Amino acid sequence: MDKFYITTAIDYVNGAPHIGHAYEKILTDVIFRHFTQRCDNCFFLTGVDEHGIKIQKTAAKNGITPQELCDKNASKFRENWKLLNVDYNKFIRTTDKDHEKISQQIFEYLLKKGDIYKNQYKGLYCNGCEAFLSEKDLTEDGLCPIHQCKPEEVSEENYFFKLTKYKERIAEYIKNHEGFIVPSFRTADVLNQLANIEDISVSRAKSNVSWGVDVLSDPDQIIYVWIDALSNYITALGYDTENPSPLFREYWPASVQVIGKDILKFHAIYWPALLMALDLPLPEHLLVHGWITIDEAKMSKSLGNVISPESILNNYELKEPDAFRYYMATAAPCGKDGNYSDEDFKEKVNAHLANSMGNLLNRTLSMLVKYFNGDIKSEFIVESDLISSALETVKIVENDFDNYDVQNAGLHIIELVDKANKYITDSEPWTLMKNGEDVKCGQVLTSVLDTLCIISSLIYPFCPNIAKNMAKQLLFDITQKLDDLSAGNIKSGHLIDKENIVPVFLRIDSEFAQKTKS
């Protein structure tokens, strides 16, 4: 693997970030961190979408300018991703001057090429989607299926993109590239939509929508938000129709673009068509995730169940976001919807991170100190079936990530933790020590500690802080690549003193909430 480029959808800034936004960014960050363990050349792009009628209306309602609203909410997204340890390389804003300039250049290039033309439009427009809809897109009640509102009837002269020119090429590409849409069950929906696709409006009259990127050759029009927004994936790399930057040439096409199921049509149809019109290769994969419900109910302002990620960390007094990251990244099977509930969150992270993984490390190190003063003797270092199982798990987890099945990867890591716990229970090192079998006891403990080194490396993308704390106590170099992992991570000599054994994750429970935490 010579490079890995991953992107998220860019979030609309007419409101503050919530748990649904956090799910996508954590999922993407976990994938990104995993591939940094396999490849030296990785790039992670995220950002915000700042143009369109919703921003214009929200700003007016709040008595501020659209730019002031964008600046305020873009900062909130940045702050939340920092809080969640989302380690992106670049955060793009569609109000960035470089992005606006290249978006205009792309528009003019396609206009000159004949793929954009001007025409009178009369039809339905959903402000929530920032999209024009046909009758076929609506529910039986004539509502937008996503926002459950009636689209506006719009009549104006716009520029159109010749999407129909590329529909057969797109269909052929999707059919010939089995892994393009992940999971594959989404493919049939895209092909069905593609069969009835029409040319799409790519501008709005400035008299109706003023907050957007100007069409250079027509001052009465602004570039339609989806053309503006979708191009961020290449403008962020310095794409230029005449002289693309070295960064663009290095990283495009994207390895995977992570999006929600509600914007699949735009990314699986509109975006490929635009790339084809620009004579650019398509991304290798689109990872389409589901939605996060709250206590099995869809998030809704009217229901009052919109949760911010920051509120969860504060509620449980979590100094680090690892528990929330782990929970969210493993909340849903690949491409399916997931659910958040306080009880499930507490139960899952207590069971996996505190009781299983954290306790395994703590009690094994404690026995090493109790029985051997924290020393590893050379005769303790032997290969075991447990270590072989750990190295096999590395390959299994890599395969899970190759298929972007992050939940499965997390489950396989915890399965390894459970095997190590069972190995301790079955081997009974305390009995071995009591019976004078010191070397065998030391071998059991060392095998578990060696396995915990591998576990720390595998869990790192999910829980970077916990993983680093584990590695520190094990004197293990967590920065090494997954392909370099082997047996023998624990070296002979003094490993740890009693005072340096610290829990890597404390249980979340009522006692914890009542001040077991300083």
Annotated catalytic residues are: 18, 21, 126, 129, 144, 147, 298, 301
Rg of the chain on CA atoms, in Å: 26
Provide the residue type at 106 as one letter: I
DSSP letters spanning 149-176: SPPEEEEEEEEEE-GGGTHHHHHHHHHH
Look at residues 81, 70, 64, 62 and name the one whose alpha carbon lies nearest to residue 17. 81
Which residues, other chains included, contact 178 with Cβ-Cβ below 8 Å and sequence gap of 6+?
184
- 10 Å CB burial of residue 242 (0-12, 13-18, 19+) is exposed
CA distances from residue 259 to 6, 29, 282, 290 in whole angstroms, order as listed: 11, 13, 15, 9
The residue length of the chain stands at 518
Tell me the three state secondary structure of residue 403.
coil
Spell out where 99-243 has E strands: 116-126, 131-133, 152-161, 181-182, 200-201, 203-205, 213-215, 218-223
- Measured in whole angstroms, how far is the alpha carbon of residue 217 from the centre of its chain? 38
Cβ-based neighbours of 434, under 8 Å, separated by 6 or more:
none
Q: What single-letter DSSP state applies at residue 262?
A: G
What is the spatial distance between Cα 342 and Cα 18, in angstroms, rounded to a whole number?
Answer: 15
